[in-house]
Structure 1
Amino acid sequence: MSESTSNVVYLAIAILDFVIAGWKCLALLRDPTPTLSLITVNFVTSGLVFTMAAPVGYRRLGELTGVPGFATLPVYIGILTCFSLLHLLTMLWDPRLRQRPAVLRRRVTLWSAAYVAAPAVMIVAFCAADLSGPADPLKFNTDYATEPLIQVFLAVFLTTLACGTLSTYRQCRMVKLEDPRFQRALRSFGIAMLFVFGYVVCCAPAITLAALGNHTLDTVGVLGSTFGSIGALITSYGLSGAAVGAWLRERRDIKALQPLWDLVVEGVDEDLAFSVDSARSHRLAWNVGFNLHRRVIEILDGMRALRPWVSPLPAAAVYAAYEHEPSPGKADARRLPERDLSERDLEAAATAAALRDAAQRLQAARREAALRGRPGHPQAPGGPQVALPGEDTPASDERQRLLRVAQALTAPLVVTALRAVRVQRSGSGVSEATEEVSEATKVTDEVSEVSERP
């Protein structure tokens, strides 16, 4: 890469690393764990490495220290730091090693000692070397290859990097994790390690020939930095891809829950919302997890507020409509599209129908109260309250349950069931305020009639 291209690429990667580091730091404050700490430090170090490795940063650091090639030392030590952290991370993720704490502790100790000893030797060799004269940010390895102490410096660096990347690649290939997100991260690490090893493959022969006075492969040595940059990008994806995927899923779920929120919160009592901006919270790009949890809590509160208006008829109508089969002799009878619903989806449809019906009853009671000169004080129906389907769902499954309910709000099965309920009420003349649970059994005939209409 040319210097101008290197500046753009390296600084772009540095900005990306710092952004992800900030994101991981916020997650670390909420959930401090050893692995998340390693990941955060890795991104901070990587951002600093690419900032100093960019020719503009490289030259600026040389001006500040008075040694043109000084940036090579912190850059190479930073590279080893990043990949040592990734290597340790893969060992901590290995379930086989976690089952043998003594073996895990021994391996981590040995590799940590190697990753500390290598930079120590590199610092001594670099500081004792003669680095007089200008330094090319992209050709330091070959320009100073004839200096014996720099040869030691580069040999230790490339050897440690090669051993670390290949060991990490082997570890990634061997580890099998139950969580597919972590398994994909390990697969990304493995691919990244091969690219970084490509940097070693390019630099080693170029440095060897340059030490012998032949600079034919200097360009190949510069090409090695491209492999290192690609490896860094793949590593960043492996460490943050799962989190980004979860973030996108949370934003998608917030939008999917919006119709249900509009029905049971905005349409029932806006005071149930966390703030006046709740209706627009799905547009926020930050703290999506908090917004999603808040949205679920608000919806559950709204459903509880609707409880006095819930009737057993809509849920019964949904089950009746689902079980109803058109008569064989009626060619124009339509089959509902949801003929193969799972038990949970059918339960969600029943809940959606009950909530839509309850909201309609509440709005009708509010209009009646307004006509009587008592706006905002609707009279709730008497009798025992009816439980909504799925109210015994564990808290960990509420999000998925509400997503199914939100999706079912406009389903044909729900529309058909509500139509049947209206027919039942208008035909029987039963007052909504005195509706009894036993009347739910009268819905089946009306469902059959409604579902067979063209």
Structure 2
Amino acid sequence: MSESTSNVVYLAIAIIDFVIAGWKCLALLRDRTPTLSLITVNFVASGLVFAMAAPAGYRMLGELTGSPSFATLPVYIGILSCFSLLHLLTMLWDPRLRQRPAVLRRKVTLWSAAYLAAPAVMVVTFCSADLSGPTDPLEFNTNFAGDPLIQVFLGVFLTTLTCGTLSTYRQCRKLKLEGPRFQRALRSFGTAMLFVFGYVVCWVPAIVLAAFGNHALDTVGVLGSTFGSIGALITSYGLSGAAVGAWLRERRDIKALQPLWDLVVEGVDEDLAFSVDSARSHRLAWNVGFNLHRRVIEILDGMRALRPWLSPLPAAAVYAGHEQETSQGAGDVRRLTDQELQAAATAAALRDAAQRLHAARRAAALHGSGHPQAPAGPQVALPGEDTPASGERQRLLRVAQALTAPLVAAALEDVQERRSRTEVAERK
């Protein structure tokens, strides 16, 4: 990559890493776990590495320190820090190692010691070498490959990076995590390690030839930086892809629940809402998990508030209508699952209850009688009220989707006709 291209790519990756780091910090405030702490620190370190490795940042740091090549030291130590954290993270993820705390503790201790010893050697050799004169930010490795101390510096760096990335790749291949999303993210993580190893594969022959005065492979070494950048991007996805997917699904579910919220909260009692901004909370970009959890609670409260106005007729009409449609054997009619049918019955019961409440309010306002009076008789239970708390989100999503279903609309029309006939008969 050219310097201008490197500036754009490296600084863009740095910005991505800092944004993800900020997002992880917010999550860390709510859930302080060792793994989330390591992930957060890794993204901060990665952002700093790419900011310093960009030629613009590299030269700026060189001017501040008076040594044009100084940025190489923090960049390379930062790279090792990032991949050491990732390696330790995969060990903490390993369920087999977690079942053997003594083995896990020993492995973490040994690798941590290696990851601390390597930077110590690198600092000593780098500071002892003669690095006078300007250097190309992208070709430090080959420009100073003839210096024995820099050879040790680069040898320790590339050897440690090789051991860390390949060990992490092997660890990722062995790990079996629950859930396909996490397993896919883990495979991406392992793939990233191979790309980073490509950085080593490109640089080693270039450095060896440059040590003998031959710079024919310098451009191949620079190509290694491209592999490193690709590996960093894939690593970012591996560490945050599942979380981003969950965040997007939560945003989608908040929006999908909005019609149901409008029906049973805004249309029943706005005091049930957590705040005056509840109706617009699906637009918030941050903390969507809290917003979704709050939305579910508000809807359940609204459904309980509608309980006095519930009637068994709409749900019965839904079941009867569905049975009639499927028994006729129409080719375009699909038999609903039990959960879908239950959701349709719930949606019909809630729409009917809201209509009855609004009618009672209009009558109370017309007669000046104050609060509307709920119908007499025992209260009716909604279908699916025995759903476990862990299943409420999916249940309410099905109900929200069923609100406008033709089956629900037909059932409500049937109930309305039956009530109209009853009222006419009572007047006679």
Bin of the TM-score, shorter chain as denominator length: over 0.9
Residue 325 (structure 1) shift: 5.1
Alignment-derived partner of residue 285 in structure 1: 285
Shift of 1:189: 1.2
Distance in 2 (CA, whole Å) between partners of 1:268 and 1:168 is: 55
Distance in structure 1 (CA, Å) of the matches to 2:358 and 2:244: 41
Q: Which residue of 1 aligns with 2:367?
A: 372
- C-alpha separation between the residues in 1 aligned to 2:425 and 2:84? 73
* Paired residues of 1:336 and 1:413 also in contact (CA < 8 A): no
The residue number in structure 2 matching 1:439 is none
1:79 pairs with 2:117: no
Matched, 1:354 2:349: yes
Aligned partners of 1:90 and 1:186 also within 8 Å: no
**Residues 1:57 and 2:52 aligned together:** no
2:411 aligned residue: 417
- What whole-Å deviation, never above 9, does each CA across 1:360-412 have from its counterpart, x for those lacking one? 1011111111210246x211111221111111111111111100100011112
Task: Give the TM-score of the pair, scaled to structure 2.
Answer: 0.96
Cα deviations across residues 245-269 of structure 1 (Å, max 9, x unaligned)?
Answer: 0110011001100110111111111
Checking the alignment, whether the CA contact within 8 Å between 1:336 and 1:412 is kept in structure 2 is no
How many residues align structurally?
426
Aligned partners of 2:38, 2:71: CA distance in 1, in Å? 24
Q: 1:335 to 1:220 in 2, by over 3 A?
A: closer
How far residue 178 of structure 1 moved from its aligned partner, in angstroms, is: 1.8
User: Relative to structure 2, which stretch is displaced further, 176-185 or 45-54?
Assistant: 176-185
After TM superposition, the score normalised by the length of structure 1 is 0.91
- Bigger drift between 280-289 and 186-195 goes to 280-289
Equivalent position amino acid for 2:392 in 1: E
| Mapping of residues 147-296 of structure 1, within 5 Å | 147-296=147-296
For 1:38 and 1:277, how far apart are their aligned partners in 2? 35
Aligned-partner Cα distance in 2 for 1:318–1:192: 52
Matched, 1:426 2:426: no
Question: 1:326 offset after TM fit, Å?
Answer: 7.0
Does 2:391 align with 1:397? Answer: yes
For 1:414, give the aligned amino acid. V
1:446 corresponds in structure 2 to: none
Q: Does the CA contact (< 8 Å) of 1:321 and 1:417 recur in 2?
A: yes
Question: Take 1:340 and 1:327, find their aligned partners in 2: how far apart are those partners?
Answer: 10
Does 2:134 align with 1:134? Answer: yes
Q: Label 1:145 to 1:34 Cα distance change in 2 as closer, same or farther (>3 A).
A: same
1:292-349 alpha-carbon deviations (Å, 9 max, x no partner):
1111111111111111100011111111222225776xxxx96783x42221111111
* Contact residue 307 and residue 386 of structure 1 kept, 8 A: yes
Asked if the contact 1:45/1:78 (under 8 Å) is kept, the reply is yes
State whether residues 206 and 215 of structure 1, in contact with CA within 8 Å, keep that contact through their aligned partners in structure 2. Answer: yes
Aligned pair partner of 2:337 in 335, 338, 342: 342
Question: CA shift at 1:431, angstroms?
Answer: 10
Hey, what does 1:388 align to over in structure 2?
382
C-alpha distance after superposition, 1:257-285 (max 9, x if no partner): 01101111111111211222211111111
Alpha-carbon displacement from aligned partner over 1:86-114 (angstroms, at most 9, x marks no partner): 11111111112112222211111111111
Distance change (3 Å), C-alpha of 1:430 and 1:179: farther
Structure 2: which amino acid aligns with 1:412?
P
Q: Read off the aligned partner of 2:100 and give its amino acid letter.
A: R
Residue 3 of structure 1 and its aligned partner are, at CA, apart by: 0.7
* Rounded Cα–Cα distance in structure 2 between residues aligned with 1:319 and 1:335: 19
**Following TM superposition, by how much is the alpha carbon of 1:427 offset from its aligned partner in structure 2, in angstroms?**
2.2
Aligned to 2:401: 407
Read off the aligned partner of 1:107 and give its amino acid letter. K
Do the aligned residues in 2 keep the contact of 1:86 with 1:168 (CA within 8 Å)? Answer: yes
Are residue 146 (structure 1) and residue 146 (structure 2) matched?
Answer: yes
CA contact (8 A) 1:28 1:36 kept: yes
Cα distance change, pair 197–431 in 1 and its aligned pair in 2 (3 A) = farther
Question: Matches of 1:335 and 1:174 in 2, distance apart?
Answer: 49
Report the 3-state secondary structure (helix = DSSP H, G, I; strand = E; otherwise coil) of the residue aligned with 1:429.
helix
Distance in 1 (CA, whole Å) between partners of 2:189 and 2:331 is 51
In the other structure, the counterpart of 2:358 is 363
Aligned to 1:113: 113
Deviations 1:154-187 (A, max 9, x none): 0000011011111111111111112222212210
- Closer, same or farther in 2 for the Cα pair 1:194/1:326, shift >3 Å? closer
Q: Which residue of 2 aligns with 1:436?
A: none
Task: Quote the offset at 1:46 in angstroms.
Answer: 0.1
CA distance in 2, matches of 1:19, 1:209: 40
What CA distance in whole angstroms lies between the structure 1 residues aligned with 2:420 and 2:276? 39
- Is 1:70 aligned with 2:65? no
Question: Within 1, Cα distance between the matches of 2:257 and 2:80?
Answer: 46
The answer as to whether partners of 1:53 and 1:75 remain within 8 angstroms in 2 is yes
Residue 189 to residue 335, structure 1, CA distance change in 2 (3 Å): closer
In 1, Cα distance between equivalents of 2:124 and 2:209: 24
Partners of 2:368 and 2:107 in 1: CA distance: 79
Contact 2:49 2:74 in 1 (8 A): yes
Provide the secondary structure at the position in 1 that maps to 2:131.
coil
Q: Deviations over 1:222-257 (max 9, x none)?
A: 111000000000000011111110110011001100
Unaligned runs of 5+ in 2: none
Instruction: Tell me the equivalent position of 2:45.
Output: 45
Question: In the alignment, does 2:1 pair up with 1:4?
Answer: no
Runs of 4+ residues deviating >6 angstroms: none
Structure 2 distance, partners of 1:326, 1:187, is 45
Comparing 285-294 with 238-247, greater Cα deviation is found at 285-294
Distance 1:232 1:327, change over 3 A: closer
